[in-house]
Structure 1
């Protein structure tokens, strides 16, 4: 999902998932290409959302077990919108229009092209048409992290999905001649790799650019390749192999931190963190004859710090609408094993072919599958209600019961994780939901100071903002809060929740205010006699005298005897 030329989107494929068990088929919208997936991305994302059960799924023998998509009994339709040149917006619109006409319940779109005004963005426009038909839309947040303000797909009617890792590692350990070991990852894991000398060169050769190692002495050596330089990690390995190198250690750049990827390298390799890479480099500079080997340890389960935000996952704030917190959620997007249209091991006698790749493209279909399950379980829920259920039940703690961390192992903030990491089981029984109907977005869009033509382009009908009661962004009935405090004046907003739990439920407000802000909620107790009953509360944000940084965060939770309905709050100053 690299930034595309104007009017083109990054590489992608589109999945529409309904809730039964039958293959509809595939349709082609990308010019000059077949309707078949000859690149792999679409097969991978489709099977992640709705793949059938397959025993013995693995790649190079790693992550071996029974594979299944998140919604394995879902009805699946795929629409090809990309070719070798990219993904044209006209093809995206055409495919999504056909998906809507086909009656899908969920559209999963692992594509994005940077921040664009909603009225000028094909995905935003087509997604609004989808939610008008009751279709849930899930999109990837983008792979431009860890820099802030790098999101794609920022519209509030889209579920915007960031990427995290899981507790599974495909471990490869770089062991140095001084005895120190540094854990990394790789998918291709040969046996009994011997120790060898380490090769370390100039910046040009450090990036292992094509033909940069041919004049160096790397024959039979373990070559350190730095991440970056516009060269893909697997391409770096090809250069090492063609120059005669025996193995490769890929070290992260500083931005990528501790996010390591298990990939199908063409030679023995280990992808290590920036910290590990710097230590390895320091060792090579400390001795005249540095040596290393790679210990291949296979699939390891149980990483306690998981889930961690992936370094590539795009971050907020939301450029197009700062008063809407994005991303909405994070889900698994690192080292995801899923179906692939051909064997990456050149095995010809099998139809069961898998690959392991990473990106928010992989996180998006996880959430699409969750949405399909929720739609099947709650067919009367709107797209906004499904989104609310996913967001208000998300996890903000990792497997160690500590706050989720980022690629630097520092506590992640809401501009990285949104509401948190998806918990599908809890989402099926959220207790309360925040609902938004398509017409509710019109006052919000007018409040963005879009003109009548721009709002009409989104709404697909005539709109006169002069006849609409405009609202500011935080007045939208969203399951999270993004507040911008430019003055000391208090800000008050209302929210309405629907009881989708049992009748006779009561919820009490629990407030964790952001630093530098006081919060008053009225009333503090919501009581529901019946299921599907509404209740409205007000929330007021005021500055305190405490000095804070650019932003601070907290949360509001509505707590009953058996539910916690949590909304993240982030306040920018």
Structure 2
């Protein structure tokens, strides 16, 4: 039995007896008081005696027994009661998770080994064609593509923390896959037919969750019908599936970003319940020991707070110490500012944008006007002719009142419905179908702008931009007999307006580290076709494979794209650190769309760095960046001290590294962390800031790079030295960027943006520069309304 998760009843009772025999001052108390799950942080350098305790679990049990009666809770009150110790962590934090009463937490706070008790918290999930769009395949022999240069990620192991997975899905077919590398120490809890050389790991972490939620029983197989985990896993490392489609749309060969990589799924989220913090920590704790190369997490909390209490930040730091690349979703709370999640600088934080594929379903009005729209499901048997067009008979126009959707009102007609009301658009489609409507037109919300996220509805439908509502309604009001027809035009590729930042994608600035631009980078996250246990919205898909794929949108979909690309890069560059891979991605991004115009936000305006980060991922360029801004795990420690974290908090974050004292370290300010982007605040005289950076040559030996700065007239930016000469690979050279107001006084603009480019004969290494006239927040977490970017 795995000692890390074994039930400790016998051991705990033995330790209790031992401690009572040797310790004075422990007072018995009521063990049946109400309990909650807590994460207990233990003081460093408080260590356990390995001659007394055989492992860290038994040591943590002894600490717990010093304040708690270790008998089981009353079975009459809780038939499923278990020992109090839920998880004993080895890598992610110096501490353990336990069920405690408030009285016991108070007693524990008096112990010399105690640092902090953090109450339970629930986190949320952030919810065919993209390999070619991203240049992974390569169209010619002169551009062979990233897949050829990385052998499609063969031998890499991508660990996914998410919901469950659909075993036996064609995206996880192991045919032709080699066995996992010898370093793999994990396990798959499915049977032999579901586990194979593709899906090598599948486990469920629920020990903390089961105390809060009914229906999570022991044992739990990592199966989840919510589709999220299957979709993101297939996006990161799905096998080739010819003929894949979503309700008949987007037909082609589906594949993940790293189709030859192995996949390990760690279920920490449960349908309609969420993701428990202590289970997340336990999964990462095991994953880093089991040999993963990349950790992909499409989950988080935009109000997670400081890094010392956030499981993503804590587990992410432990991961990078082991050389694991950590990729996270930025969150789905856009377009509001200061909503970005997963802000720690050792995480890659991914925003979402559109790709160049559209599922075209236009509206032809009776007056000859054509309105652009999109539809996920385009039934071939639908007869496209002019039919009566009506608005929702309800006052709000949302088609949410079933009692008004009668046959007299909608039978044989096309119904115009606004998004919103008391029903989802999928539910509205069912109500309209049952009432005999021929089809319906969905008006997108105003805030989504030009980005449409079509669904597969129970009857023919199309979704159009909010700005078109006025035109359609004006036509309806202009005639006694308005008509319309839906024109399904299939899947179109090559949309030159793409990518466009998704409206839901969370925006910066970061609340926890104002000197770092977050999100870091943008990837495809709108209308992504991926594997699912079942499609949503339509009971009878048009063909067999359509039952296995569906379209989903979210930063959850963008993050696994980048995770898979990270596996490809790690395969091609096995000696690169996680920070080097991150830098290579960020300094080679695209900031222009397919028209060669600035990438737009959903409102049609140029996207700023708070929404786009460094830009849209370009894997082919990232494979050969020329220079990288490198960082080791140890380099983040003076930065954490500079943020004002206490010694205990820093030691908790960097566990299991040796304890440190911030007073003995040179403090690194946020602006001087050797990050691939630059953010400064000019709010004090003399309105000049010096930023220090160093770059490592990862090109081919000798090279000369010249600094090129693009900045608005309101800024003065100089680089010293402005020319870097490298003689060999892995050579490091430092430079200083001096940024100030061009007038010498306060900046008039709130936020301005620019770029620093190091240019050689072969490479352009671009770092974003963001300058603000004042702090976005007072302290690291008290929000004020941030200045808007351009």
1:136-147 aligned at under 5 Å gives the runs 136-147=325-336
Tell me the distance in 1 between the aligned counterparts of 2:327 and 2:421: 32
1:354 to 543, 549, 556: 549
**Distance of 2:365 and 2:547 partners within structure 1:** 38
- Alignment match, 2:241: 54
- Report what 2:484 is aligned to: 292
- 1:65 matched residue in structure 2: 252
For 1:246-257, what aligned pairs fall within 5 Å after superposition?
A: 246-257=438-449
Is residue 705–residue 724 contact of structure 2 (8 Å, CA) maintained in 1? yes
Could you say if the C-alpha distance between residues 132 and 232 of structure 1 is closer, same or farther in structure 2, counting changes exceeding 3 Å? farther
Query: In structure 1, what is the equivalent of residue 270 of structure 2?
Result: 83
Q: What is the alpha-carbon distance in structure 2 between the residues aligned to residue 203 and residue 162 of structure 1?
A: 37
Q: 1:266 aligns with which of 450, 455, 458?
A: 458
- Select 2:318's aligned residue among 90, 114, 129: 129
- The separation in 2 between residues aligned to 1:229 and 1:132, in whole angstroms, is 48
Partner of 2:286: 98
Q: How far, CA to CA, are the matches of 1:533 and 1:203 in structure 2?
A: 69
Does structure 2 conserve the Cα–Cα contact (< 8 Å) formed by 1:173 and 1:182? Answer: yes
- Native 8 Å contact 1:435 1:498 kept in 2: yes
Give 1:320's aligned residue. 512
Corresponding residue number in structure 2 for 1:196 = 387
Q: CA deviation at 1:475?
A: 0.7
Residue equivalent to 1:25: 201
**Larger deviation: 64-73 or 182-191?**
182-191
- Cα distance 1:351–1:25, how it changes in 2: closer, same or farther (>3 A)? farther
Structure 1: distance between partners of 2:120 and 2:439: 39
Deviations 1:299-338 (A, max 9, x none): 0111111111111111111111111001111011111111
Report the Cα distance in structure 1 between the residues aligned to 2:239 and 2:256, rounded to whole angstroms.
6
- How far the C-alpha of 1:38 sits from its partner, in A, is 1.1
Larger Rg: 2
Q: Is the 8 A contact 1:58 1:337 kept in 2?
A: yes
Deviations 1:150-181 (A, max 9, x none): 11111111110011111110111011121111
8 Å CA contact 1:508–1:525 kept in 2: the answer is yes
Query: Are 1:12 and 1:41, in contact at CA under 8 Å, matched by a contact in 2?
Result: no
Partner in structure 1 of residue 679 of structure 2 = 482
Q: What is the distance in 1 between the residues matched to 2:332 and 2:469? A: 22
Structure-2 change in CA distance of 1:206 and 1:571 (3 Å): same
1:284, CA displacement in angstroms? 2.3
Correspondence for 2:637: 442
Moved more, 17-26 or 353-362: 17-26
Distance 1:427 1:346, change over 3 A: same
- 8 A Cα contact 1:12 1:81, kept in partner: no
Root mean square deviation of aligned Cα: 2.3
Tell me what 1:399 maps to: 594
Measured in 2, the distance between the counterparts of 1:202 and 1:257 equals 26
Give distance in 1, aligned partners of 2:561 and 2:414: 37
- Whether 1:16 and 2:204 are equivalent positions in the alignment is no
Moved more, 114-123 or 7-16: 7-16
Matched, 1:555 2:762: no
1:219/1:323 CA distance change after superposition, 3 Å: same
Aligned to 1:217: 409
Q: CA deviation at 1:185?
A: 1.0
Cα 1:243–1:483 shift into 2, 3 Å: farther
Q: What is the DSSP-based 3-state SS (H/G/I as helix, E as strand, rest coil) of the residue aligned with 1:422?
A: coil
Question: CA offset at residue 195 of structure 1?
Answer: 2.9
Between 1:209-218 and 1:255-264, the stretch displaced more is 209-218
The more displaced of 545-554 and 48-57 is 545-554
- Mean Cα displacement is larger for which, 477-486 or 13-22? 13-22
TM-score (norm 1): 0.94
Once the 2 structures are TM-superposed, how far is the Cα of residue 349 of structure 1 from its aligned partner? Answer: 5.7
Segment of structure 1 superposing worse, 270-279 or 76-85: 270-279
Structure 2 equivalent of residue 379 of structure 1? 574
Q: Structure 1: how far apart are the matches of 2:124 and 2:417?
A: 26
Query: C-alpha offsets along residues 134-162 of structure 1, whole Å, 9 cap, x if unaligned?
Result: 11111111111111111111111111001
Give how far 1:202 is off: 6.8
Shift of 1:112: 2.0
Task: Note if contact 2:126-2:554 (Cα within 8 Å) is conserved in structure 1.
Answer: no
The answer to whether the 8 A contact 2:392-2:398 is kept is no
For the Cα contact (< 8 Å) 1:220–1:245, is it kept in 2?
Answer: yes
Query: 1:364-420 CA deviation, whole Å, 9 max, x = no partner?
Result: 000001100000000111111000000000001111111111111211111111110
Q: State the secondary structure of the residue aligned to 2:645.
A: coil
Distance verdict in 2 for CA 1:286–1:19, change over 3 Å: farther
Q: What is the Cα deviation at residue 119 of structure 1?
A: 1.5
Unaligned stretches of 5+ residues in structure 1: none
* Aligned counterparts of 1:210 and 1:44: Cα–Cα separation in 2: 33
In 2, the alpha carbon distance for the partners of 1:12 and 1:311 equals 14
Q: Which has the higher contact order (CA 8 A, sep 6+)?
A: 1
Task: Give the secondary structure class of the aligned counterpart of 1:439.
Answer: helix
- Do the aligned residues in 1 keep the contact of 2:361 with 2:489 (CA within 8 Å)? yes
Are the counterparts in 2 of residues 19 and 73 from structure 1 also a CA contact under 8 Å? Answer: no
Cα distance in 1, alignment partners of residues 289 and 126 from structure 2: 21
Gap change, CA 1:445 and 1:547, over 3 Å in 2: closer
SS in 2 for 1:416: helix
Tell whether the 8 Å contact from 1:9 to 1:111 is kept in structure 2 after alignment. yes
Deviation at residue 210 of structure 1 after TM alignment: 5.9
Q: Supply the distance in 2 between the matched residues of 1:569 and 1:361 (Cα, whole angstroms).
A: 27
CA distance in 1, matches of 2:713, 2:395: 46
Shift of 1:243: 4.0
Contact conserved, 1:168 with 1:299, CA < 8 A, in 2? Answer: yes
How far the C-alpha of 1:279 sits from its partner, in A, is 1.9
Residue 203 of structure 1, CA deviation: 7.0
Moved more, 454-463 or 486-495: 454-463
Q: Is the 8 A contact 2:126 2:332 kept in 1?
A: no
Equivalent position of 2:109 in the other structure: none
Q: 2: distance between equivalents of 1:308 and 1:12?
A: 19
* Partners of 2:358 and 2:374 within 8 A in 1: yes
Task: Give, in angstroms, the shift of residue 221 of structure 1.
Answer: 2.5
CA distance in 2, matches of 1:140, 1:212: 41
Q: Post-superposition shift, 1:283?
A: 2.2
Match of 2:696 in 1: 498
Give CA deviations for 1:521-570 in whole Å, capped at 9, x if unaligned.
Answer: 00000011000100000011111239643201000000000000000111
Q: Counterpart of 1:166 in 2: which secondary structure? A: coil
Preserved CA contact (<8 Å) 1:488 1:543: no
User: 1:476: how far off?
Assistant: 0.4
Question: Is the CA contact (8 Å cut-off) linking 1:205 and 1:213 kept in structure 2?
Answer: no
Task: Tell me if structure 1 keeps the 8 A contact 2:159–2:265.
Answer: yes
Alignment partner of 1:285: what SS?
helix
Partner SS state of residue 189, structure 1:
coil
